[in-house]
Amino acid sequence: MANTKQITVEQTGSAIGRPERQRKTLLGLGLTRIGRKRQLEDTPAVRGMIAKVAHLVKIVGEK
């Protein structure tokens, strides 16, 4: 899958005190603590997950 677009996401906000749905979305993205970055495949599903927790993450880069 070297030809697929990649997106780098960084967690900027804490999951403490957030609804369970948002905590599980962060875990689904592979983010467990502030400052953690993950490189993910740029798919509609991943974009939707990022949109659900947009106030807790930021997109750092796209390839």
pLDDT tens-digit readout, 32-59: 999 999 999 999 999 999 999 999 999 9
pLDDT single digits (tens) 13-36: 999 999 999 999 999 999 999 999
Please give the model's pTM, rounded to 2 decimal places.
0.89
According to CATH, what is the number of the domain 6-62? 3.30.1390.20
DSSP state string for 1-55: -TTS-EEEEEE-S--TTS-HHHHHHHHHHT--STT-EEEEE--HHHHHHHHHTTT
Rg of the Cα atoms in the chain: 11
| Domain ranges within the chain, ordered by starting residue | 6-62
Q: Which amino acid is at 52?
A: K
